């Protein structure tokens, strides 16, 4: 479908730059065909022309770390530190999930992503074939991260998933990964590092999330989790860590040497009392920072607006009022996350890039007056401002309505059916 957006404010986000273009953006065959001055006269035939009325077009948000199907545990597993939360609530409940459950629960997350302007998610969970099917059926973009650990998965199964998912559908891709150092034995870690060496591929994992995790690794190995994994050759071809809250001496040097990405997840880290990641240090040292929500069991919502505000707000609280410039934070949410996920053709609004676009309604009280478009998005923006979400040139959400074949009420009913069944099975 060829679509013309006109009378638009456009924030390309090719870099951490708040410069706004006023003009038009054309989408042809799923990609951006033109962006700029409305004076260009040779226009192709459009299937639809949208008068933006001064509303803002920017790259869709990239949720760079999440566990989408954990929607079933929203507001169930709460008010505990990470270790207790995992072992007392999450792991026992997850043991009852089927592939059909994960498909349905992921679809619920997709509805939430789209209504919040998110166009891609870096998802780590189980039954990855069903997550891929959900992406294909909804039109949403998923990058699936390997999750091997002592509870399931091997280097060989990781390879099979990697090959199958990267060939499944243009909306689906896969990155090597494992759950965490503290849930994965050394033999499996060495096998995964060897796989990364063979494929010359980056590796991603939960990393340095809590002080207890770091202390335990030091007691067992004499090294921080980052140093230990690097000693196994895990990051020879890059990759990154989700959370990266607690660093020890030497960790930052490894991060920079290996070109690792950091994905910060402030809502989850605050709620689980894990700490505040040193995001301003990462920015100052040139470390690429992406933003994710983590799963809806530890957040409890999938809202990138809240994450952006907390990224900058918590740095100001812990470092100083000038920390975590909001333009950098917006760039992290829209663009750096895309690069971390391997979605380099979805990272900004430019000719030839994938048309993964969100339109924000500026004709709302929280967006007026417009002294700074970028700062309005980070400091005062909300999901209520999301007027339209487009993935690969296809409008999937517009003004409160989903445009693909889905009955939201049926999705909600299925999610409630799943959690009710599992609660009965667990006697909770």
pLDDT (tens digit per residue) in 306-364: 999 999 999 999 999 999 999 999 999 999 999 999 999 999 999 999 999 999 999 99
pLDDT digits (tens, 9 = 90+) for 125-139: 999 999 999 999 999
* H helical segments located in 290-397: 304-318, 326-331, 337-340, 373-375
Give the pLDDT of residue 116: 98
Burial of 320 (0-12, 13-18, 19+ CB in 10 A): exposed
Domains of the chain: 3-59+358-400 (2.30.40.10), 61-345 (3.20.20.140)
Q: Give the helix/strand (H/E) hosting 57.
A: strand 56-59
- Measured CA to CA, the distance from residue 388 to residue 323 in angstroms comes to 31
- Measured CA to CA, the distance from residue 31 to residue 353 in angstroms comes to 6
- Measured CA to CA, the distance from residue 329 to residue 323 in angstroms comes to 10
Closest CA to 26 of 60, 53, 54, 57: 57
pLDDT digits (tens, 9 = 90+) for 222-257: 999 999 999 999 999 999 999 999 999 999 999 999
Reply yes or no on whether the pLDDT at 38 is more than 90. no
Residues 6+ apart with CB under 8 A from 316: 322, 323, 324
User: Quick check: 274 and 242 in contact, CB under 8 A?
Assistant: no
pLDDT digits (tens, 9 = 90+) for 260-290: 999 999 999 999 999 999 999 999 999 999 9
Give the pLDDT of residue 42: 76
- Measured CA to CA, the distance from residue 390 to residue 393 in angstroms comes to 6
Compute the half-sphere exposure of residue 224: CA atoms within 13 Å on the CB side of its CA.
Answer: 19
Give just the sign of the alpha carbon dihedral 274, 278, 279, 282: negative
Entry pTM: 0.97
Say what the alpha-carbon torsion angle 63, 262, 315, 292 is, to the nearest 10 degrees: 10
Compute the C-alpha angle 212/217/222, nearest 5°: 130
- Measured CA to CA, the distance from residue 110 to residue 120 in angstroms comes to 9
Closest CA to 61 of 248, 255, 290: 290
Task: Name the token pair of 75.
Answer: 């507001």
Task: Name the token pair of 96.
Answer: 């009852």
User: Quick check: 306 and 383 in contact, CB under 8 A?
Assistant: no
- Measured CA to CA, the distance from residue 292 to residue 265 in angstroms comes to 5
User: Quick check: 269 and 211 in contact, CB under 8 A?
Assistant: no
Closest CA to 396 of 61, 387, 291: 387
pLDDT digits (tens, 9 = 90+) for 94-120: 999 999 999 999 999 999 999 999 999
Percent of the chain with pLDDT over 90: 96
pLDDT averaged over every residue in the chain: 97
Task: Name the token pair of 74.
Answer: 């929203």
Task: Name the token pair of 371.
Answer: 């002294």
Reply yes or no on whether the pLDDT at 215 is more than 80. yes
Q: Give the helix/strand (H/E) hosting 105.
A: helix 99-115
Reply yes or no on whether the pLDDT at 50 is more than 90. yes
pLDDT digits (tens, 9 = 90+) for 285-313: 999 999 999 999 999 999 999 999 999 99
**CA dist 346 → 167, 211, 283, 394, 425 (Å):** 18, 35, 22, 14, 42
Give the pLDDT of residue 246: 98
Reply yes or no on whether the pLDDT at 39 is more than 80. no
Phi/psi class of residue 128: alpha, beta or left (left: φ > 0; alpha: ψ in -120 to 50)?
alpha
Give the pLDDT of residue 41: 65
28 strand-pairing partners: 31
pLDDT digits (tens, 9 = 90+) for 156-197: 999 999 999 999 999 999 999 999 999 999 999 999 999 999
Residue given tokens 């399931």 in the structure block = 152
Cα 72 from chain centroid (whole Å)? 19
User: Quick check: 293 and 270 in contact, CB under 8 A?
Assistant: no
Q: Residue 394 — very low, low, confident or very high, per pLDDT cuts 50/70/90? A: very high
Give the pLDDT of residue 77: 83
Reply yes or no on whether the pLDDT at 44 is more than 90. no
């Amino acid at each position: 479908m060829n679509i013309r957006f006109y009378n638009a404010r456009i924030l390309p986000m090719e870099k951490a730059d708040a410069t706004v273009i006023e003009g038009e953006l054309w989408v042809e065959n799923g990609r951006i065909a033109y962006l700029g001055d409305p004076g260009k006269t040779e226009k192709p035939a459009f299937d639809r022309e949208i008068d933006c009325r001064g509303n803002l077009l920017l790259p869709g948000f990239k949720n760079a770390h999440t566990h989408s199907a954990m929607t079933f545990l929203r507001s169930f597993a709460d008010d505990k530190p990470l270790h207790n939360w995992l072992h007392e609530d999450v792991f026992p409940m997850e043991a009852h999930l089927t592939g059909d459950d994960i498909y349905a629960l992921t679809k619920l997350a997709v509805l939430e992503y789209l209504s919040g302007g998110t166009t891609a998610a870096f998802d780590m969970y189980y039954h990855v074939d069903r997550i891929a099917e959900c992406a294909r059926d909804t039109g949403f973009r998923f990058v699936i991260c390997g999750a091997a650990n002592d509870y399931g998965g091997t280097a060989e199964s990781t390879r099979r998933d990697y090959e199958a998912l990267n060939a499944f559908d243009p909306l689906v891709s896969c990155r090597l990964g494992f759950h965490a150092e503290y849930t994965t034995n050394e033999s499996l870690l060495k096998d995964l590092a060897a796989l990364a060496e063979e494929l010359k591929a980056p590796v991603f994992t939960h990393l340095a999330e809590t002080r207890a995790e770091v202390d335990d690794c030091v007691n067992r190995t004499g090294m921080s989790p980052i140093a230990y994994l690097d000693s196994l050759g895990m990051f020879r071809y890059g990759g990154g860590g989700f959370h990266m809250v607690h660093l020890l001496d030497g960790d930052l040097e490894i991060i920079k040497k290996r070109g690792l990405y950091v994905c910060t997840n402030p809502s989850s880290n605050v709620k689980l009392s894990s700490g505040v990641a040193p995001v301003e240090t990462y920015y100052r040292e040139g470390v690429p920072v992406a933003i994710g929500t983590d799963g809806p069991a530890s957040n409890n919502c999938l809202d990138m607006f809240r994450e952006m505000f907390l990224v900058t707000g918590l740095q100001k609280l812990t470092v100083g009022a000038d920390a975590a410039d909001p333009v950098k934070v917006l760039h992290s949410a829209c663009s750096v996350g895309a690069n971390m996920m391997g979605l380099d053709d979805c990272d900004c609004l430019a000719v030839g890039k994938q048309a993964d676009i969100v339109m924000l309604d500026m004709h709302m009280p929280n967006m007026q007056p417009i002294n700074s478009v970028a700062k309005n998005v980070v400091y005062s923006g909300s999901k209520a401002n999301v007027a339209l979400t487009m993935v690969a040139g296809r409008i999937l959400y517009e003004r409160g309505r989903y445009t693909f074949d889905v009955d939201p009420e049926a999705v909600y009913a299925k999610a409630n059916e799943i959690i009710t069944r599992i609660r009965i099975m667990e006697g909770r």
